[in-house]
Amino acid sequence: MNDQLGIPSCKVILLGNTCVGKTSIVLQFYKALFQEQGQPTIGAAYFSKIIDTPKGKLNMNVWDSAGQERFRSIIPMYLRGASGVIFVCSPDNVESIKDLNVWKNLLDKNQENKIFGYIVMNKCDLNISDSKTLAEAFAKENHYQFFETSAKLNINITELFNKIAADISNEIIFESVRSDESQIRVKNDNSSGCC
């Protein structure tokens, strides 16, 4: 997807239980801001930022979804057209790790295209290692990349979004080349001169 400036854009959505730090991750990346007493997201919040990747600029549109169960019915709407999903859990909330499967199932039911997936254990500054093992195992089992972050201390936040941007940018370039090759083939097929 391209915006009016000719910069490719992508959609990334954060999924996870309430109070795991989804909004804090986004605010740290977009505004270099951490709020000690955040409010739960109602519905979804939207942020946009242009990121430099090895393949060029990418306009990343990030949707921060609500983690409360009563808002889960609207999440499929936000998943449409997504290129990436960040599943966020927290070491001080074991339920959030167990519920990674719930969020993955929600994605699987509503996935329209290839989506890059990332498991993010936020609040790594708490140094709770038991939970990390469970989240890493889930990531490995589902072929997702695993990141430990701390929105509070700004640990691995930029690295996470840069990796996502690079992965998606590579896919956009690949799809663009494949599309160009298809158009060339169609033109060649149509150029077979007859009478």
Domain-located, residue 2: no
Count of the separate structural domains present in the chain = 1
- Average pLDDT of the chain to the nearest whole number: 82
- Nearest alpha-carbon partner for 135 in 149, 114, 154: 149
pTM: 0.82
Domain-located, residue 140: yes
Domain-located, residue 195: no
Domain-located, residue 16: yes
β-pair type (84-89, 56-65) = unpaired
pLDDT, tens digit, 9 for 90 and up, residues 139-180: 999 999 999 999 999 999 999 999 999 999 998 764 544 444
Domain-located, residue 4: no
Averaged pLDDT, groups of 10, the chain, 195 residues long:
73 92 92 71 70 93 68 69 96 95 92 92 90 93 97 97 96 54 46 52
The Cα 99–Cα 145 span in angstroms is: 17
- State the residue range of the domain holding 161: 9-189
Domain-located, residue 125: yes
